[in-house]
């Protein structure tokens, strides 16, 4: 359970900034609210803003060749929802949908570019953020390509445990209700396939489900399958 115990080593983007830089960043944006189900931007459209999440959850997804939704990231308080395409005139590579009612601060390109020219620390923080997001996306695709549907499911369970996990005497409880359809979207497979794989894990006493939340009883089993025992926490979250 060492990953959960060490969660404090990784903090969302906004909380990594100094108090002074947090204040400076906020005054360059505009606060807004968004209801659950609202879409902030669509894959393929021009990027106009990036968003700092002050409250709520925003999920980023892509459409597959079969026109199915594939979840890639789930951003929470302190995270940024947006893409580097804002600064290079490219279209959005993902769709951002609000999962739970949110309070956001949106930033325009010109405002951020002016800020970056004045504050190198904030500019560097954004560069590191977008580099990390790229690594996270690549890692998720890598798990899927190298270890198939089973590996993709194990990877998602580990990432949710690192992001929402709470230690219990019997294991790590993912304090976020995940439906089989959610997991199917996160792993690029069908709900029926996810149901079969979860049942296999239950029979092997690797997981159990309590009130819609998954309890991982043996997270080392999942890690060993993916050869990720030494994977750094900042590269192994759902965000």
CATH architecture of the domain with range 139-235: Orthogonal Bundle (1.10)
Report pLDDT digits (tens) over 97-109. Answer: 999 999 999 999 9
Which phi and psi (to 5°) does residue 214 adopt? -90, 130
CA dist., res. 13 & res. 80, Å (int): 7
Q: Hey, what are 6's tokens? A: 């060490």
Q: Between these two residues, 230 and 23, which has the higher pLDDT value? A: 23
At 222 the pLDDT is: 94
Is a pLDDT exceeding 80 seen at residue 4?
Answer: no
DSSP, collapsed to helix, strand or coil, labels residue 214 as: strand
Whether residue 35 is predicted with pLDDT greater than 90 in this model: the reply is yes
Q: Is residue 80 a contact partner of residue 129, using CB atoms and an 8 Å limit?
A: yes
Q: In this prediction, what percent of the chain has a pLDDT beyond 90?
A: 73
Distances (CA, A) of 158 to 2, 204, 215: 12, 17, 11
CATH 1.10.10.10 boundaries in the chain: 139-235
Which class would CATH give 8-138?
A: mainly beta
Is 103 in contact with 33 (CB distance < 8 Å)?
yes
Span 108-150, pLDDT tens digits: 999 999 999 999 999 999 999 988 888 888 888 888 888 889 9
Q: Where does CATH 2.60.120.10 sit in the chain?
A: 8-138
Q: What band does 9 get if pLDDT is binned at 50, 70 and 90?
A: very low
């Amino acid at each position: 359970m060492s990953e959960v115990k060490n969660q404090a080593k990784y903090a969302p983007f906004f909380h990594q900034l100094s108090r002074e830089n947090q204040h400076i960043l906020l005054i360059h944006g505009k606060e807004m609210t968004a209801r659950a189900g609202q879409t902030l931007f669509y894959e393929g459209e021009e990027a106009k803003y990036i968003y700092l999440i002050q409250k709520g959850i925003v999920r980023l997804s892509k459409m597959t060749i079969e026109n199915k939704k594939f979840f890639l990231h789930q951003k929470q308080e302190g995270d940024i929802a947006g893409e580097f395409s804002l600064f290079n005139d490219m279209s959005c590579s993902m769709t951002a949908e609000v999962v739970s009612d949110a309070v956001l601060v949106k930033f325009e390109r010109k405002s951020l570019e002016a800020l970056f020219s004045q504050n190198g620390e904030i500019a560097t923080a954004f560069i590191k953020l977008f580099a990390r997001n790229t690594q996270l996306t690549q890692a998720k695709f890598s798990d899927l390509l190298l270890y198939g549907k089973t590996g993709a499911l194990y990877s998602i369970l580990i990432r949710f445990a690192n992001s929402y996990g709470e230690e219990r005497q019997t294991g790590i409880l993912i304090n976020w209700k995940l439906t089989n359809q959610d997991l199917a979207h996160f792993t690029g497979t069908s709900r029926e396939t996810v149901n079969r794989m979860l049942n296999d894990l239950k029979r092997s006493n690797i997981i159990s489900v309590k009130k819609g939340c998954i309890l991982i009883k043996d997270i080392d089993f999942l890690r060993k399958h993916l050869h990720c025992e030494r994977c750094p926490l900042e590269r192994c979250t759902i965000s």
